[in-house]
């Protein structure tokens, strides 16, 4: 697998790990530290602690429109920088709620930095560049 | 004094933690608003630096929908599931650092704006948060529309005839953020409209909204300080039109209920209006009135 393909796969794995942890929510999920590092690992855990404190989880409707499009990737040694476009229809609901109806959909464009640690690409940082209601903007 | 502080804290917590707000579903999945973190790799700027440069407010040429006021709830990070109340900050813990989990959401949209862990030292309510940090949060919720720019005459302009310029949505925008008894109010006040007329050197800057031209009144009874006179027709331009751009500039300031205040700089939004300019003879009556 090329570096770029590895970084892309690492980003997607990080997203999946967070979504899984947020469905519990479990700030100590090992999959988080397997796929995240640095400030983003701290932020993910803090968010999950916030969800737990408020008795909430993140759920996605079935079918979900959630989708990741990695628009660009550059590799610089052990660091990869990605431009991502994410269609996100996740909702934060009471923990006892097992399913959600389709609701608000948001499209977010952001930049992400992946760091390769012991051969594994992990999500280290991420910033939001733009946000649209619905499937719009970078997703069009 | 301590009772006052405790009472203030109690009232703020009651206000901040309506059960309905917690029960209601909110948007914000894997890429919720609170799901960002930067460091050395993407430029580890503080929230204040980002706010000052406006990067958290998106591209200048796109409207930002914004949101509502921000409200924050506080929890004991060591004992989740329990919101913090005044009893948790009684005299027995005065001067002792407490780790607090702060969850801040947009009251209108339900979006999670920020989740953070803070170490605070009772009894001061203000110790729960840096009011400037709250200001940055409130600023992120400001709606920033594109300028609703108008010209008279509407549509095609005429060489050597004043075109009146104004902006319909010259209005301040306000948002607040509240946490632990501290409320910061951010106000974005329009300060300038900047027009360019096809090239950067052809410009006009107006420090007010401009005056809408009233078609029902005689031109001789009206005046404006915001106008521009095209000297050349737009024939030969792409699509036979100048790309007139209008930038609405807001100055963002903040105040808080604990005395602190400050300035978060300027933000702007730009709209572009393709504008045809034609040459007409003997049409200069020094006013408008089409």
Contacts of A104 in chain B (CB under 8 A): 27
Assign residue A32 a region (left: φ > 0; alpha: ψ between -120 and 50; beta: otherwise).
alpha
* Confidence class for position B20, pLDDT limits 50, 70, 90: very low
**CA-nearest residue of chain B to A85?**
B31
pLDDT recorded at residue A91 = 94
Quick check: A20 pLDDT over 60? yes
**Predicted confidence (pLDDT) per residue in B180-218, tens digit:** 788 999 999 999 999 999 888 899 999 999 999 999 999
C-alpha distances in angstroms, A103 versus A23, A63, A88? Answer: 17, 11, 10
**ipTM confidence:** 0.90
Q: Do B42 and A86 touch (CB under 8 A)?
A: no
Question: Please, which residues 144-163 of chain B have a Cβ atom closer than 8 Å to chain A?
Answer: none
Question: What is the pLDDT at residue B175?
Answer: 98
Region A72-98 average pLDDT: 95
pLDDT level of residue B50 (50, 70, 90 thresholds):
low
Q: Which pLDDT value is given to residue B122?
A: 78
Q: How far is B76 from chain A (nearest CA, A)?
A: 8
> Region B26-47: what's the mean pLDDT?
80
Question: Do the chains contact at A66 and B33, CB–CB below 8 Å?
Answer: no
pLDDT score of B282: 52
User: Which residue from B22, B29, B44 is facing A89, i.e. has the nearest CB?
Assistant: B29
Q: How far is CA B138 from CA B58, B154, B173, in A?
A: 15, 37, 11
Give the whole-angstrom CA distance, residue B243 versus residue B146. 16
The reply to whether B29 touches chain A by the CB within 8 Å rule is: yes
A and B: number of Cβ contacts within 8 A: 138
B23–A131 C-beta distance less than 8 A = no
Whether B34 has a pLDDT exceeding 60, the answer reads yes
Helix (H) or strand (E) holding A5: helix A3-22
Q: Are B86 and B6 in contact (CB under 8 A)?
A: yes
Residue B21: predicted pLDDT: 45
Whether residue A82 is predicted with pLDDT greater than 60 in this model: the reply is yes
Phi then psi for residue A37, to 5 deg, are: -155, 170
Interface test with B, best of A18, A44, A53, A111 (most B CBs within 10 A): A53
**Angstrom distance (rounded) from CA B131 to CA A71:** 37
pLDDT over 50 at B23, yes or no = no
Does B34 reach chain A within 8 Å, measured CB to CB? yes
Q: Domains of chain A: which residue ranges?
A: 3-139
pLDDT tens per residue, range B145-175: 999 999 999 999 999 999 999 999 999 999 9
In this prediction, residues B2-24 reach a mean pLDDT of 38
Q: Taking all residues of chain B, what is their mean pLDDT, rounded to a whole number? A: 83
pLDDT at B28: 83
**Average per-residue pLDDT for chain A:** 95
CA distance B163 to B278: 12
- B112 at A interface, C-beta within 8 A: yes
Using the predicted structure, report yes or no on whether residue A39 has a pLDDT greater than 80. Answer: yes
Residue B57: pLDDT band (50, 70, 90) is confident
pLDDT tier at B3 (50, 70, 90 boundaries)? very low
Section A72-83 average pLDDT: 96
Digit-coded pLDDT (tens) for B226-281: 999 999 999 999 999 999 999 999 999 999 998 999 999 999 999 999 999 999 86
pLDDT of B181 reads 80
Tell me the C-alpha distance between B15 and A5, whole Å.
Answer: 49
User: Residue range A8-19: average pLDDT?
Assistant: 98
Report pLDDT digits (tens) over A88-126.
999 999 999 988 888 889 999 999 999 999 999 999 999
Question: Across residues B30-35, what is the average pLDDT?
Answer: 88
- Please check whether residue B102 is in contact with residue B116, taking contact to mean a CB–CB distance below 8 angstroms: yes
Do B39 and A55 make contact, defined as CB atoms within 8 angstroms?
A: no
**pLDDT over 70 at B128, yes or no:** no
| Residue B62 pLDDT level (bands cut at 50, 70, 90) | confident
Among B50, B22, B23, which Cα is nearest to B37's? B50
The reply to whether omega before B89 is within 30° of 0 (cis) is: no
pLDDT band for position A130 (cuts 50, 70, 90)? confident
pLDDT at position B9 is: 37
Q: Tell me which chain A residues have a C-beta less than 8 angstroms from the C-beta of B56.
A: 128
Chain A environment of B62 (Cβ under 8 Å):
130
Q: Say whether pLDDT at B130 is over 90.
A: no
Chain B residues whose beta carbon lies within 8 Å of the beta carbon of residue A42: 37
Structure tokens at B136: 């940055």
pLDDT at B8: 35
Chain A, 52 to 71: residues with Cβ < 8 Å from chain B are 52-56, 58, 60, 66
The pTM assigned to this predicted structure is 0.81
Instruction: Report whether B226 contacts B267 (CB < 8 A).
Output: no
What pLDDT, on the 0 to 100 scale, is given for residue B290? 43
pLDDT for residue B150: 96
Put simply, the answer to whether B80 touches A81 (Cβ < 8 Å) is no
Annotation: CATH topology of A3-139: Nuclear Transport Factor 2; Chain: A, (3.10.450)
State the Cα–Cα distance between residues A133 and B109, nearest whole angstrom: 12
């Amino acid at each position: 697998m090329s570096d770029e393909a590895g970084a892309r796969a690492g980003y997607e794995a990080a997203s999946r790990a967070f979504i899984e942890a947020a469905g519990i929510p479990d700030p100590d999920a090992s999959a988080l530290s397997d796929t995240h590092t640095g400030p983003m690992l701290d932020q993910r855990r803090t968010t999950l602690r916030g969800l737990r404190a408020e008795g909430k989880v993140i759920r996605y409707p079935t079918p979900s429109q959630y989708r990741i499009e990695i628009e660009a990737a550059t590799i610089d040694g052990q660091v990869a920088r990605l431009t991502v476009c994410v269609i996100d229809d996740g909702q934060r609901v009471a923990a006892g709620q097992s399913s959600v109806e389709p609701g608000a959909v948001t499209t977010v464009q952001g930049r992400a930095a992946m760091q390769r640690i012991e051969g594994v690409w992990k999500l280290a940082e991420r910033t939001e560049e733009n946000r649209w209601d619905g499937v719009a903007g970078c997703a069009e | 004094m301590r009772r006052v502080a405790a009472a203030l804290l109690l009232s703020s917590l009651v206000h901040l933690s309506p059960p309905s707000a917690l029960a209601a579903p909110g948007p914000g999945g894997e890429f919720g608003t609170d799901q960002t973190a930067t460091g050395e790799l993407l430029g580890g700027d503080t929230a204040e630096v980002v706010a000052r440069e406006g990067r958290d407010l998106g591209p200048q040429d796109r409207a930002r929908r914004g949101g509502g006021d921000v409200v924050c709830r506080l929890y004991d990070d060591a004992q989740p599931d329990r919101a913090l109340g005044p009893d948790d900050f009684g005299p027995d813990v005065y001067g002792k650092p407490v780790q607090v989990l702060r969850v801040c959401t947009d009251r209108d949209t339900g979006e999670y704006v920020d989740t953070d862990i803070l170490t605070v030292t009772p009894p001061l309510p203000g110790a729960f948060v840096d009011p400037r940090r709250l200001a940055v949060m409130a600023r992120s919720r400001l709606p920033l529309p594109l300028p609703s720019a108008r010209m008279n005459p509407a549509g095609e302009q005429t060489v050597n005839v004043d075109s009146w310029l104004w902006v319909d949505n010259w209005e301040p925008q306000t948002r607040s953020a509240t946490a632990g008894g501290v409320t910061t109010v951010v106000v974005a006040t329009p300060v300038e409209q900047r027009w360019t007329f096809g090239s950067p050197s052809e410009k006009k800057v107006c420090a007010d909204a401009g005056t809408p031209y009233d078609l029902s009144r005689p031109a001789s009874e009206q005046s404006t300080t915001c106008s521009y006179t095209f000297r050349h027709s737009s024939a030969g331009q792409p699509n036979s039109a100048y790309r007139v751009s209008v930038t609405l500039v807001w100055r963002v300031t903040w105040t808080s209920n604990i005395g602190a205040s400050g300035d978060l700089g300027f933000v702007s939004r730009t709209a572009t209006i393709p504008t045809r300019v034609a040459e007409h003879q003997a049409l200069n009556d020094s006013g408008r009135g089409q």
